[in-house]
A and B are shown apart, each in its own frame.
Chain A
Amino acid sequence: MADFLYVFRGGTYQQLSPEQMQKHMQAWGTWIGELSKRGQFKAGDPLDPGGKQVKGKKKVVVDGPFAEAKDLVGGYLLVTADSLDDAAELARGCPILEVDGSVEVRPIRKM
């Protein structure tokens, strides 16, 4: 077993009706609930858009990121899986894919 980070980007909800939004949220609940039942869910949080970036040797603090909506990171999840392939397979069940979003699957490096 190894740990993996899911990074969620994009996903547009503006065109959904209230009922569709609720169904979408329930789909997330079901997906994360199943990960959790199998003991694969470790942590996860949504991220606010915007924030600050600290850059360079001068340690300049600037506002941002101002990425395009489809590139903006909206949240992350920490899961355990047997392999990278297994983690990617699990990510295929993520509801964000239904609304034009993406999941980046990254193995956490072991010491």
Chain B
Amino acid sequence: MSGAAPVRGVVEHLFRHEAGRLSAALVRVLGPANIDLAEDVVQETLCHALETWKLGRVPDNPAAWLRAVARNRALDVLRRQKTRTRVAPELARLGEELAPAVDAAFTEDAMRDEQLRMMFACCDARLQQPVQVALILKLLCGFGVGEVAQAFLASPAAIEKRLARGKAALRRPGALADLADPVVARRLDAVLDALYLLFNEGYHGAHPELAVRADLCAEAIRLGRLLAQNPATALPPTFALLALMCLHAARLPGRLDADGALVPLEEQDRSTWDRALAAEGAQWLSRAASAPPTPLLLEAAIAAEHCFAPAFARTDWAGIVALYDALYAHKPSPVVALNRAIALAQLEGPERGLLELQSLAGRERLARYPFYPAALGDLHLRAGHHREAAEQFQRALRLARSPAERLHFQRKLEQTT
């Protein structure tokens, strides 16, 4: 009998993150053909923990407790001889050696490697990116179907379909390659793209709830760190993406105000920014800089300039314009040109910025991008052209993709009267 009051100490997202680690270990042990069985064992393990901990106390090391339960369940499944050969023929041969083989899959190092193998398997080029990202969230981040659906503002039924398609691909023989396999090096870009998509869904996505979006950014960074820890994937492109994600996420707390409106960089309260994450971003940036510049690296360098500028007015605009010039040479997109023009306007005044924006190369491709008219509106406002500014903010308002954008453009429009 427990006479003392229960003490609770479970780190944030423990269940979710352990679900990802346990899934990876269990797929290793049970074989990728039994991915559904592996997921069932994870769910049973977590239910068992909940039943046991809710009225008693949480064990000193909850993660180790969960791993021990999952390991024992996996052994039970494997020891039922009939299923063993079907489940994992390579383990069936082990006989008495079964327990050490299963234990080996539940060590910290093995689970880290397994998560990476799973990440690479999820990013098979034959799968569409939304399928890849849904798989990553479900299998590696421990999201429920409902939570994946919520993250993408999709229906649970649509997500179920995506996951079924993805899991069918994972069950194919050889879908889980070893990290030493050349396929891993070839697929790194696809993995980084998927993580970047996941991050952007959190950073720029239309979901109105900041908590959901911050979660997606945090998950992308967590998986990025896993890549950076393994010699096979600790490469400059990985560091550049991590740098960019950390330097953007550091500023996430200042991006929305209490009403949920987007706050422009100029008006953000810099004391809300996450300094530790910014410092981490700077470290990744310096490690990425050993390789020739890539678009991601240049974008990270621009993010770093903003992150470490003591105030908006004291930003190194000349440095930022130079970085945008280099970025444009790599990636001549109208959005890059737009951002370059905004920086140039800070350096040389609104009239100069307007001139750039009005003759922007590829501006017809920005027809549905609300930040093009919004940038024009800003510069007209600064130049004292109130009527033109109002027109542009009205256009931005019509193109707004989320409540946060809408509220922001609404306020800008009010400033023109």
Instruction: Give chain A's interface residues, CB within 8 Å of chain B.
Output: 8, 13-14, 16-22, 24-26, 28-29, 32-33, 36, 41-46, 74-75, 77, 95
Contacts and interface: CB of A to CB of B under 8 A. Distances in A.
Given A18-B19, A19-B15, A44-B55, A32 B6 contact: yes
Contact of A18 (B1, B15, B53): B15
A19 B50 contact: no
B5 A46 contact: no
Interface string B1-37: 1110110101001111011000000000000000000
Contacts of B14: 22
Given A14-B43, A19-B142, A74 B147 contact: no
Interface of B: 1-3, 5-6, 8, 10, 13-16, 18-19, 43, 46-47, 49-56, 142-147
Closest 3 pairs (CB-CB, A-B) = A17-B144, A36-B5, A29-B8
Contacts of B147: 17, 19
Contact of B144 (A18, A36, A46): A18
A68 B18 CA distance: 30
Contacts of A22: 10, 13-16
Nearest to B14: A22
A49 to B, nearest CB: 9
B1 A25 contact: no
B50 A21 contact: yes
Given A41-B5, A42-B3, A77-B55, A19 B143 contact: yes
A26 to B, nearest CB: 7
B16 A45 contact: no
Contact of B146 (A17, A26, A32, A75): A17
B55 A46 contact: yes
A96 B144 CA distance: 20
B144 A19 contact: yes
Contact of A28 (B18, B43, B55): B55
Given A43-B1, A44-B2, A26 B144 contact: no
A21 to B, nearest CB: 5
10 contacts: A16-B144, A17-B142, A17-B147, A19-B15, A21-B15, A29-B54, A32-B6, A36-B6, A43-B3, A75-B54
Given A29-B6, A44-B56, 11 more contacts: A18-B46, A19-B13, A19-B147, A21-B50, A22-B14, A25-B8, A25-B10, A25-B50, A36-B6, A43-B2, A46-B55
A29 B6 CA distance: 8
A105 to B, nearest CB: 16
A46 B49 CA distance: 11
A13 B1 CA distance: 25
A33 B5 CA distance: 7
Contacts of A19: 13, 15-16, 142-144, 147
B19 A46 contact: no
Contacts of A46: 51-52, 54-56
B363 to A, nearest CB: 43
Nearest to B42: A18
Contacts of A13: 46-47, 50-51
Nearest to A29: B8
A42 B2 CA distance: 8
B249 to A, nearest CB: 19
A21 B46 contact: yes
B47 to A, nearest CB: 5
Contacts of B16: 17-19, 22
B6 to A, nearest CB: 6
